[in-house]
Amino acid sequence: MSRNPNQDHNINALHELRIEAVLSIIRAGGAESVLDLGCGSGILLKYLASEGQIKKIVGIDTCTASLAQARELLSAELAEPNKRVQIAHGSFLKFDETLASFDAAVMLETIEHILPQDLSRLESVLFLSYRPKLVVITTPNCEYNKVYGMNSDQLRRSDHCFEWSREKFKLWSDGVGKRAGYSAKVKGIGSPHTNYGPPTQLAEFRRLAP
């Protein structure tokens, strides 16, 4: 999909809205330790590090090039970033016991990069093994792609494995919540279209029992 400069501006503005929505939930939840699962080039890590309540932040990703960008960004933006922020190469589809005691976990525009057959493994590792008090997931609303002039069978990015409609995302979120013992609240991010809803959708999961 080709973009003009105005589209790029809108996409960047939308990403800022996603980040602010995530930070608002993290603040309200009182999380002092946060996992950024699929941290990419480190943009969310930079913002998380600006939140005074958060004492420990770990970002993981499978892409070594993205992790190098994240380290460069954090070195340029933060004073002594390694004091509070750690970056590691790894997959959130494999359990790592060192990541099992965090208050919150975030997947910012990440879940759609997972093969659909691996979603059950993600659910097991994240919600049943790591079991943070709070999980925040954002993902595209595929219905909104029509606003971008895309066909119904097109994905927003070539590296996406799938994209969910609002109905499918809510069904998945509710199902995970019931199976894993979390409340699930779904909302939109960005200005909604009358017929197609918002460009991004967010699920906030809160653990129901210790």
Q: Looking at residue 145, what DSSP letter applies? A: G
The amino acid at 35: L
Lowest mean pLDDT among 5-19, 78-92, 120-134, 182-196: 5-19
pLDDT at position 81: 53
Do the Cβ atoms of 196 and 202 come closer than 8 Å? no
pLDDT at position 79: 63
14-207 fold = Rossmann fold (3.40.50)
With bands split at pLDDT 50, 70 and 90, how would you rate the model's confidence at 157? Answer: very high
pLDDT tens string 78-108: 766 557 899 999 999 999 999 999 999 999 9
Two tokens, residue 200: 């991004």
Q: Coil, helix or strand for 136?
A: strand
pLDDT at position 148: 92
Lowest mean pLDDT among 16-20, 35-39, 80-84, 87-91: 80-84
φ, ψ of residue 24 in degrees (nearest 5): -60, -40
pLDDT at position 83: 75
β-pairing verdict for 200-207 and 182-189? antiparallel
Question: Mean pLDDT across the stretch 55-63?
Answer: 95
Q: Which of 179, 174, 183, 185 is nearest to 207 (CA)?
A: 183
Alpha helices in 32-85 (DSSP H): 43-49, 64-77
Is the pLDDT reported for residue 1 higher than 50? no
